[in-house]
Amino acid sequence: MALIKCKECGREISDKATACIHCGCPVNSSHNPSEEQYKPSKKKRWLVVGLAGVTMVAFAAAFLYKSMFDSGNDGQTPLFGGDEAVEVVVTPEFAEAVRQYDQLEPFSDGMAAVGKNGKWGYINHKGEEVIPCQFDSEAEEGEGGELNFGKTYCVSHGFSEGVAVVRHNEKWGVIDKKGNVVVEYGKYENIDDCHDGLLYVSSSNKPLFLNTKGEVAVEVSEYDSALPFSDGLSRVCKGGKFGFIDTKGVLVISCQYSSARSFSEGKAIVNFTNGGYTCIDKQGNELYHRKGLDVEFTSGEYHDGLMDVYDSNSRYYYKHGYVNENGDIVIPCQYNSFDGFDNGVYSFSDGFSYIYMNPNDGDATPIFIDKHGGKHIFPYTPIEGNMREHKVFSEGMACVVSDEKVGFIDSTGKLAIPFKYSICYDEHYTWSDGYGVFYNGVALVQMGDRWGYVDKNGNDTFTQEDADAYNDKIKAQAEERRLHEERQREIERQQQEESEIKSWIEGNWRYSTQQYGMTMEMRVGISGDMIVVMMNGERHYAGPYTIEGNHIVYNRGGGSSDYIVIDKANHRLMVNDTT
């Protein structure tokens, strides 16, 4: 797997995606808004969902439907069911149950995908395998595009609002929490996770929306394109202009904008051109308009009431900051993104984010900031992940790193779970908001080669044997690093010594002696890495040489070689150790 940058929104997407999962821009084709189609990535994207399931009586349903449009729902909170209120408690029974699996995924909607023998299934919050391991894996892509079948990933999605998108026998479908198939395998080419009670599906670039029973709920055939619902609305395009429909398919904001992002926290960015951009509410009212190119948005999404922006007039590297719901810059554009350009900074969650001050000046360590722009508020280094999706804090906890180990702090900055877990370098987890992020009361962590879960009290699914093996591995790695550093120092010492020797041996050397009544004359010429040796006026050798210890070695071949002795102390060359 590789990550590429969407040419429209600038966000990271899989290089296998046919369209950006964030803005719908087609990949590897010229962007034509009127022809824009959304094709969801078949890679897992773990959704952040936060409300408990509710009993859908008529009055409650009406209240929730109204609140979906009035309360600024973030588009990821399930308003139609789900078990996000379920708290997983790590008990000895739970730990023993999950240890039978080769691989684990984060919990979502009270369920977690688990892998065994190359197949994937699902467990519930008690660790019970409620859906057997039967779904497809995907091999890791290595160098040159070759697949590493020794390392596979789950391609089925996490549960969201009571359903999950899964792949079985290379065909996509949707199941419920009992494993019942609600959308037939292979019926649609593309299926996205459930948002606001609706599943986005498409075939032959013709999208529509299904309910969680697999029934057609919203027809969008009159539009050129549509995106999955976000914050209760779906962005649609007709005749090259963008508007928004609600979950009943009613066009609530007419197709009038030349460009548009999806809604987040009750706001959407529209008409973003070289002249600025406009922010609207769910009724289509203009909240603010920013002119010019002094400050441009990156993600176009609000999180915790703030949206990340950058100053494109910065001389060398883009500087990033945040604007509030009125478009006012409340945190100045003074921070760097992870690469120093326009890829953005981390979104706020639970009142916190983290940034880089000078990553291109040798200091790439991220630091925490609060919503007032306060820096270094916690004396810990946050773990890095996907800056678009990674939640700095989740369920009141943040993953931090120290001395190559991972721990967790709470929202007061107190170290709540000690540093004892591995740093995850696997992009499948770090770029999908999976590793070290709390869902349903537990976070997915790793100890050496074993995957497991830890709850907010620090109870985890690892054994003392796991900890001992991990600590032994760390000690072995430390010893390996020490030896490597020692070898590097020796290599550098030898290179330095060789450089010093070459500085004085270069030139012409002559040696003459009497042997058996005859005069023997040897002449040597050295220049750079080449040597010429003449014996009694005849060329004996011309070619490269090496310095090995106190010898100049040349004329290798047939298992033998010639050499000249280096007298380092007196800066002279000798034909043998005494002459």
Encoding tokens for residue 557?
């071949």
Looking at residue 355, its pLDDT comes to 78
pLDDT at 250 over 70: yes
| Cα–Cα distance measured from residue 482 to residue 477, given in angstroms and rounded to the nearest whole number | 9
Out of 46-55, 133-142, 149-158, 414-423, pick the least confident. 46-55
366 φ/ψ angles, rounded to the nearest 5 degrees: -75, 150
C-alpha distances (whole Å) from 521 to each of 258, 562, 566, 574, 579 are 88, 16, 19, 13, 13
Looking at residue 452, its pLDDT comes to 96
What integer is the mean pLDDT of 205-224? Answer: 94
Out of 130-139, 299-308, 428-437, pick the least confident. 428-437
C-alpha distances (whole Å) from 327 to each of 267, 344, 349 are 11, 17, 19
Confidence of residue 426 (pLDDT cuts 50, 70, 90): low
Confidence of residue 327 (pLDDT cuts 50, 70, 90): very high
Beta-ladder partners of 277: 290
Looking at residue 10, its pLDDT comes to 55
Q: What is the pLDDT of residues 472-521, one digit of tens each?
A: 998 998 899 999 999 999 999 989 999 999 999 999 999 887 767 788 88
pLDDT at 453 over 80: yes
Confidence of residue 378 (pLDDT cuts 50, 70, 90): confident
Out of 125-139, 364-378, 460-474, pick the least confident. 364-378
What integer is the mean pLDDT of 51-74? Answer: 36
pLDDT at 57 over 90: no
Out of 25-34, 57-66, 189-198, pick the least confident. 57-66
Q: Is the dihedral of CA 308, 313, 319, 321 positive or negative?
A: negative
pLDDT at 69 over 50: no
Q: What is the mean pLDDT of the chain?
A: 80
Looking at residue 49, its pLDDT comes to 30
The more confident residue out of 251 and 37 is 251
Confidence of residue 15 (pLDDT cuts 50, 70, 90): low
- Percent of the chain, pLDDT > 70? 74
Q: Which helix (H) or strand (E) holds 526?
A: strand 518-527
Out of 51-60, 216-225, 401-410, 567-576, the most confident range is: 216-225
Looking at residue 382, its pLDDT comes to 79
What integer is the mean pLDDT of 334-346? Answer: 60
What integer is the mean pLDDT of 246-258? Answer: 96
Question: Which amino acid makes up residue 219?
Answer: E
| Cα–Cα distance measured from residue 45 to residue 165, given in angstroms and rounded to the nearest whole number | 11
Confidence of residue 404 (pLDDT cuts 50, 70, 90): confident
Looking at residue 11, its pLDDT comes to 54
Q: Is the dihedral of CA 500, 502, 505, 508 positive or negative?
A: negative
Write the DSSP assignment of 76-127 as a string of letters: -S-SS--BTT------HHHHHHHTT-SEEEEEETTEEEEEETTEEEEE-TTS
pLDDT at 42 over 60: no
Looking at residue 66, its pLDDT comes to 39
| Cα–Cα distance measured from residue 555 to residue 82, given in angstroms and rounded to the nearest whole number | 78
Q: For residue 221, which of 233, 242, 236, 199 has the smallest C-alpha distance? A: 236
C-alpha distances (whole Å) from 383 to each of 45, 53, 335, 414, 449 are 19, 31, 18, 16, 19
Looking at residue 310, its pLDDT comes to 83
What integer is the mean pLDDT of 419-444? Answer: 79
Q: Which helix (H) or strand (E) holds 70?
A: helix 58-70
How many CA atoms lie within 13 Å of 521's alpha carbon, on the beta-carbon side?
8
Confidence of residue 371 (pLDDT cuts 50, 70, 90): confident
| Cα–Cα distance measured from residue 408 to residue 128, given in angstroms and rounded to the nearest whole number | 27
Question: CB neighbours (10 Å) of residue 544?
Answer: 11
| Cα–Cα distance measured from residue 306 to residue 327, given in angstroms and rounded to the nearest whole number | 9
Looking at residue 104, its pLDDT comes to 93
With contact defined as beta carbons under 8 Å apart, do 389 and 432 qualify? yes
Looking at residue 239, its pLDDT comes to 94
pLDDT at 338 over 60: no
Confidence of residue 73 (pLDDT cuts 50, 70, 90): very low
Out of 1-10, 169-178, 536-545, 562-571, pick the least confident. 1-10
pLDDT at 427 over 90: no
Looking at residue 4, its pLDDT comes to 59
Return the HEC string of 391-439. CCCECCEEEEEECCEEEEEECCCCEEEEEEEECCCCHHHHCCCCECCEE
What integer is the mean pLDDT of 147-160? Answer: 69
57 φ/ψ angles, rounded to the nearest 5 degrees: -75, 165
